[in-house]
Copies of this chain bind each other. A is one copy, B any other.
Amino acid sequence: MPSPTALTVWSLEGIPEIEAGADLVEIIAQAADGSLADGDILVVTSKIVSKAEDRFVVADDREDAITGETVRVVASRTSPTGATTRIVQNRLGMVSAAAGVDASNTPEGTVLLLPVDPDASARAMAAGLRARLDVEVGVIVSDTLGRAWREGQTDHAIGAGGVQVFEDLRGGTDAEGRPLVVTMPCVADELAAAADLVKGKAARRPVAVVRGRADLVGSLDLAGARSIVRPLERDMFRLGADEAYAQGYADGRSAGRDADAEAYVSGP
């Protein structure tokens, strides 16, 4: 007995394999076939945005591609089998494995970089769909990311257009009237996660529709998913534990030598 406030999430059928230069607004509008309504939120897998934007790179350059997308190495680890995982911050500010460079579901011999500017892509799709279909929809561009401390991956928002990324309750109060001081649900990430439940990783269902949170849909000027990235100065996990330890060790060793040398010079 779903209530009128229920959320409904479904994937669009009939999205073809996306080629470079594809018009995603046209393709999504066709697949939606008149089903979209004001307040719907489309969650579009970043992979098809990258493909439409021709972000293919030949696979021989995979490691170079990762390096090219990397602003800062956060952590890296080599597994017992010899495979190295690099957790890096990319030019979008996102922290993820392999800078989002994707080698699955791409033509043999190629890898795919993330969209150049996923917020801009999301805004352009929202604007295009609003204009073409005369419905006020929001668009999220999603990517599958691993997490610190938890196994497995979940989908997250890496781009947003015309949809609030946070539900700001910081000014609100709880049911007892006390201020909800630090609660700021990242609804964009929750929408991406909900959408992943109907997408299926191996199948070609790259676009989902979420209906039931029209309150989050609004101006195309709303802050994008870039605003989800925690600034470095507030990030307690800006560096992996091994990497931070190694930096500290090197600095401490220099300081220890200096201190000892000083002690020797000045005498006991």
Contact = CB atoms under 8 A, between A and B. Distances in A.
B249 A77 contact: no
Contact of A189 (B13, B152, B242): B152
Contact of A154 (B190, B203, B253): B190
B10 A237 contact: no
A202 B175 contact: yes
A52 to B, nearest CB: 17
Given A201-B180, A202-B173, A253-B259, A186 B152 contact: yes
A218 interface: no
Interface residues of A, number: 98
Contacts of A211: 2
Interface stretch (A62-70, A120-128, A223-231): A223-231
A58 B88 CA distance: 43
A227 B197 contact: no
Interface in A5-32: 5-11, 13
Contacts of A105: 174-176
A240 B197 CA distance: 32
Contact of A153 (B7, B186, B252): B186
Contact of A252 (B190, B198, B203, B253): B253
Contact of A238 (B1, B2, B241): B241
A150 B156 contact: yes
Contact of A152 (B11, B228, B242, B247): B228
Contact of A10 (B5, B173, B252): B5
Contact of A248 (B150, B166, B184, B252): B252
Shortest 7 CB-CB contacts between residues of A and residues of B = A256-B256, A248-B248, A252-B252, A152-B186, A249-B252, A194-B194, A1-B35
20 contacts: A7-B10, A95-B149, A104-B183, A105-B174, A105-B175, A144-B185, A148-B237, A150-B228, A153-B185, A154-B193, A167-B201, A174-B202, A175-B204, A180-B202, A187-B197, A197-B212, A197-B213, A237-B237, A244-B244, A248-B252
